[in-house]
Amino acid sequence: MSTLSSSLFTKPTVHSWLKAIAAVGVKNNVIGNNKKLPWNIPEESKFYFDTVKGHEVIFGRTTYEGGFLTKFSKIYVISSTMQKIDGASVIRDYNEIQEPPKGKILWVCGGQRVYKDLLPYCSELYISHIKGDFDGDTFFPEYKNDFHVKETLIDCNDFCTRKSKE
């Protein structure tokens, strides 16, 4: 496994093994309110966990502390304050990320800063647009100029999930 070179942040390189997944309020790109999801939609949560299960994930500290984690093959948590977490690698810098083994994906799972920092390097974005009005204090970064819808995966009353390519 190789560690990403420092050029990751000076010249964006899209990595086929790096993908992002998020649920966002369709009207304002909200992803959180008071360190929690502003909605409770079991079908969307099931899609999220079924998609990332068995792969590697990266979270920011606040998202990790949200506690809605299941078993992943490897967990990275980026934090300047946390020292050690059982079952996860605490990293201070994205350059500490290692390319996952062949056949595995590293899923970018939030929060706001992690999405903003890593979206330019993601080959795909799986995004669930949550229908309705939701207040929040945490938002998904602008992405529509960088990703283009490849296919609609789910379209139901509460949300619509699309797979987009860089």
DSSP-derived letter for residue 11 is S
pLDDT level of residue 125 (50, 70, 90 thresholds): very high
Lowest mean pLDDT among 16-25, 87-96, 138-147: 87-96
| Beta-strand relationship, 159-165 and 148-155 | antiparallel
Query: Does position 6 have pLDDT exceeding 50, yes or no?
Result: no
Domains of the chain: 15-33+41-165 (3.40.430.10)
Question: In whole angstroms, what is the distance from residue 63 CA to residue 44 CA?
Answer: 17
At 69 the pLDDT is 60
Q: Region 52-73: what's the mean pLDDT?
A: 78
- Rounded to the nearest integer, the mean pLDDT of the chain is 86
